[in-house]
Amino acid sequence: MLSAFHRSLGLKIFAAQMVIIVVGVVVLASATELVAPSVFEHHMAEMEDMMGTMMGMSTDTSLDTNFRVAVREALGFAAGAAVVAAIVVSIFVTRQVVIPVQAMMRASQRIAAGHYEERVEIPGDVKRNELDELAQLALSFNQMAAQLQKTEDMRRRLIGDVAHELRTPLTTIKGTAEGLIDGVLSSGPEVFHLIYRESDRLQRLVTDLQELSRVEAGAYVLERQPVPVAQLVESTVDRLNRQFEEKGVSLNVSILPDLPSVMADEDRIGQVLLNLVGNALQYTSAGGTVTIRASKTRQLVSFAVQDTGTGIAAEHLPHLFTRFYRVDKSRSRAGGGNGIGLTIARHLVEAHGGSIRAESAGAGLGSTFTFTLPASSE
């Protein structure tokens, strides 16, 4: 009985009301017994004086006893009615409070057991500020459940994607090793190069994944300071110039004069620019052009990397910044790409308070990747 009381909110609500009723009844009864007689006698004496002198009437001594009995009976009825009201109110409150709480408890247990799609019911078509506290709690509970479901979906997808990305190079390395063991393949520079390429791809994938998890978790410190725009662009150009020459793609730079410096972590933003210009080179054939532009709009400096390369069909544009997303898997893979670079770039730019976007007039019509950074006030 005691443990049922401990576990039941409904019983506790009922007990709280019973305590109030019992206290009320005891106080009223004591008052009737202790105070009422003297007050009653005082009033009767006054009345006796008045009536006795007026009509020569005398008071009945049993009047006092009758009054007490009447008060006790009235108290008894009142207590009975209060208990019935307490039961009705307890049932009502239990329905309003305990049932939604129990629903949330069941839902949280199912979520803990891995059923992330579980939600609690909320009265439809009501705005948040029109809901009572419990309904608002249920709403927050559902939002938390949705977030958990999203995170779990991402985790599952990530494991699937990573497994998929690892499978191709591993299969190639294993197949080559089997060929060598069985004597189907003869060892030679080609085979060695193949194994080297695939191991290199694996290593790059692991490094990129490590970097991605670091930026996604925000586990890095941005060392932001004013950096001249020209300095950022020049160091990227210096690092990629030779590759542009080798491929026969021209690299142009167009920086508007009097641009302010940007508040940036030079290494991190250098990494973003290198990724965008590297991509532009990879997806542009010989004879094409890549242009890096920088301009200022209000308090932001805008960097654009424009190429005359393969372009991107409109349906792919919204997904480019999603990890492992590649428009043409085999082409990207051949170029050593794993679809992580732009995801990291987006995280880094957003961590600086900027934004990044991709535009393209369509396949074959070139692309432009633009990102913004806050201008330094110095």
Select the residue interacting with ligand ADP from 176, 279, 302, 308 (CB under 6 A): 279
CB of 271: closest distance to ligand ADP in angstroms? 12
> 294 pairs with which residues across the strands?
255, 303
Interface with ligand ADP, residue 270, by CB under 6 A: no
Structure tokens that stand for 302 in this block: 């805008």
CB of 194: closest distance to ligand ADP in angstroms? 21
**3 state SS of 208:** helix
Looking at the Cβ atoms of 64 and 216, the one nearer to ligand ADP is 216
Distance between CA atoms of residues 278 and 281, nearest Å: 5
**CA dihedral sign of residues 59, 65, 68, 74:** negative
**How many chain residues touch ligand ADP (CB under 6 A)?**
22
Select the residue interacting with ligand ADP from 341, 348, 352, 373 (CB under 6 A): 341
Residues 159-198 that bind ligand ADP (CB under 6 A): none
Select the residue interacting with ligand ADP from 176, 367, 371, 372 (CB under 6 A): 367
Taking each helix axis from N to C terminus, what angle separates 341-351 and 266-282, rounded to the nearest 10 degrees? 150
Residues 291-310 that bind ligand ADP (CB under 6 A): 307, 309-310
Q: Candidates 18-26, 27-35, 163-171, 334-342 — which segment interacts with ligand ADP by CB under 6 A?
A: 334-342
Select the residue interacting with ligand ADP from 201, 268, 326, 346 (CB under 6 A): 326
Select the residue interacting with ligand ADP from 212, 240, 251, 312 (CB under 6 A): 312
Q: Is 249 exposed, middle or buried (0-12, 13-18, 19+ CB in 10 A)?
A: buried
Looking at the Cβ atoms of 283 and 303, the one nearer to ligand ADP is 283
Q: Is 228 exposed, middle or buried (0-12, 13-18, 19+ CB in 10 A)?
A: middle
Q: What is the DSSP string of 81-129?
A: HHHHHHHHHHHHHIIIIIHHHHHHHHHHHHHHTT-TT------TT--GG
Residue least distant from ligand ADP (Cβ): 337
**3 state SS of 270:** helix
Q: Which residues bind ligand ADP (CB under 6 A)?
A: 275, 279-280, 283, 307, 309-310, 312, 320, 325-328, 332, 337-343, 367
